[in-house]
Amino acid sequence: MLTAEYDSAIAQRMQDQHRELAARWFERLLALVPVQAPDIFPSAALLDHIPELIVQISGYLRDPAEHAISANTAVLDKARELGDLRHVQRASLHQVLREYQILWVVLSTFVVEQTEGLGSEAPPGGVATLLQRLQGAVNVLSQATVETFVGLYTATIREQAQRLEEFTRLAAHEWRQPLSTLQVGLAVIRHPNVEADRSARMWEVVDRNLRQLIDVTQKLEAVTRLRDLGDTPLVQTISLTTVAQEAARQLRDMADAKSVELVVQDAMPEVTLDVGRLELVLLNLLSNGIKYADPRKEERRVEVTAAPSPDGGCRLAVRDNGVGIPEHALNTVFRRFTRAHVDRPDLSGVPGLGLGLAIVDDCVDALGATIAVESAEGLGTTFLVSLPATQG
């Protein structure tokens, strides 16, 4: 048998059996992947890619000049898609490399087996050349996958680093202001000649600023707790009016200080869900409505309403007539450490870390609900929470 005939025969068999080979690859992978990591497990989506890659590799084995893998944009795109997919599935780099290593083992074993099947017909040295070619093809593909994969991770890390930097800036600002007020307030109180009413006023200032520090700290704790630990939900059947009234009660002082009226609709539907999370959602949305009230408007309002939705769930709305959110920021306000009014000097005094809506988003997710925002600058903002029919 001539070398070209041999190459072609093995390549043809590989092509004919590409699905079985992909299944073999998958089985070996299954044995390796830790069971406790189902979210990074290569899913059916990945299985769509591998058979296709095997077909392309077989074409290259048959005719490396015509099917040069490094020049085949379609197959390189497939390999890059794989990198993208594994990034979305949060696989590790080690795992991606392992997958290609397994592909190499499965395909090279196949080539050796098929060659042995040909017995003395196989040309001398044919298998060595073919394996070398195979190795080259797998390397090119794995490089394309890994480059995409690492590129995406690098971008994610860069973005996270930027957000962390921004957080440090905001957190320092957020803590510095009440801390220096506390320092000044305590110095006044300690002064031997301070008048009684001045001292009383200062105690109030101290109290308010301490509460602000506690609030910031609690928000930070809430973010880590919600994301990383996942707590034990307390599922109850409760009227939305009761939960919203409780949230409004907790924020009464804050609303009074900014002359904002809090209105809770009577007789809203009952829901069965994790009440703690729903309360956190309402507390954050209502307090934002108060914080971003429009000082130029005579009547400032934040209103909670709800109505049953056609799917058996319920639609909760928190509507304010505040300053509104600029359109360009509507898509990003739910991200951690993101603030939408950084270019508004008149709002620079509004305290915040850009965490409230991220907490809301986490809670909404955990409730199996969804959230949307509608806003117009100068007119106001509405947050719409669609709660599912029941929450087990």
Applying CB under 6 A, the residues found at the interface with ligand ADP are 284, 288-289, 291-292, 320, 322-325, 333, 338-341, 352-358, 381
SS3 310: coil
Q: Could you tell me whether strands 314-320 and 300-308 are parallel, antiparallel, or unpaired per DSSP bridges?
A: antiparallel
77: enclosing H helix or E strand: helix 73-88
Nearer to ligand ADP, 310 or 345 (CB): 345
CB 93 within 8 A of CB 149: yes
CA angle 368–373–379, rounded 5-degree value: 155
Q: E-strand spans in the chain?
A: 235-239, 260-264, 270-274, 300-308, 314-320, 370-376, 380-387
Rounded to a whole number of angstroms, the minimum distance from the CB of residue 367 to ligand ADP is 18
Give the CA radius of gyration of the chain.
31
Rounded to a whole number of angstroms, the minimum distance from the CB of residue 333 to ligand ADP is 4
Rounded to a whole number of angstroms, the minimum distance from the CB of residue 318 to ligand ADP is 8
Nearer to ligand ADP, 222 or 357 (CB): 357
Residues in the chain: 392
Nearer to ligand ADP, 246 or 374 (CB): 374
Q: Give the HSE-up count for residue 333: Cα atoms under 13 Å, Cβ half-sphere.
A: 24
Rounded to a whole number of angstroms, the minimum distance from the CB of residue 204 to ligand ADP is 23
Rounded to a whole number of angstroms, the minimum distance from the CB of residue 191 to ligand ADP is 34
Query: Which residues does 279 contact at the CB level (< 8 Å), separation at least 6?
Result: 243, 246, 247
Nearer to ligand ADP, 185 or 352 (CB): 352
Rounded to a whole number of angstroms, the minimum distance from the CB of residue 56 to ligand ADP is 47
Contacts of range 101-106, beta carbons closer than 8 Å, 24 or more positions apart: 102/25, 102/28, 102/29, 102/32, 103/25, 103/50, 103/53, 103/54, 103/138, 104/134, 104/135, 104/138, 105/28, 106/21, 106/24, 106/25, 106/28
Nearer to ligand ADP, 145 or 288 (CB): 288
Rounded to a whole number of angstroms, the minimum distance from the CB of residue 172 to ligand ADP is 15
Nearer to ligand ADP, 50 or 223 (CB): 223
Nearer to ligand ADP, 313 or 322 (CB): 322
